[in-house]
Amino acid sequence: MTLICTLCPSKCSLCSSNSSCSSCASNYYLYGTSCMSACPYGTVPDNSTSSCQTCTSNCSSCSGTVNNCTSCSQSNTTLYLLNNTCVDSSSCTSGTYPNSTTFTCSVCNSNCTTCTSYIICSSCVNGFYLF
């Protein structure tokens, strides 16, 4: 059997075949066995390892770090984005409500202390009452 040394793909700095990178050239990130100039949706670039890291399990997308969610996974339960963290509806803080359109804990109307939607108050700030 004759073995021939073959050049790695241009984006790879190390490879095990013509289609399988194990390390990437400068300004590229390893995602699986491919080198990419930008990490795909659901991952973020890790400059220390030059690889794409998957967002935490509750995040469908993240930014900067794997824990900084920008949207939530809706696979098993409905989750809502609150301060870049995915929470269930009961964890939306006072003054916010679980918005099923945007899947965020959205801010209530300024007259509401608590609410079930932007305009439907459950309790009011001082000086206002429910009717």
Q: With respect to residue 3, please indicate whether it lies within any of the assigned structural domains.
A: no
pLDDT of residue 11: 93
Residue at 36: amino acid letter: M
Same domain, 38 and 66: no
Average pLDDT, the chain: 92
pTM (two decimals): 0.77
Q: Are residues 21 and 65 in the same domain?
A: no
Instruction: Flag whether 44 is in a domain.
Output: yes
The predicted pLDDT at position 18 comes to: 86
Flag whether pLDDT at 13 surpasses 70: yes
Per-residue DSSP letters for 16-55? EETTEEEEE-TT-EEETTEEESSPPTTEEEETTTTEEEEP
Rounded average pLDDT over 15-39: 94
105 touches 81 (CB < 8 A): yes
In the prediction, which pLDDT does 72 show? 93
Section 87-93 average pLDDT: 92
Mean pLDDT along residues 104-130: 93
Average pLDDT over residues 41-55: 95
22 is a domain residue: yes
Same domain, 33 and 79: no
pLDDT tens-digit series, residues 58-85? 999 999 999 999 999 887 678 999 999 9
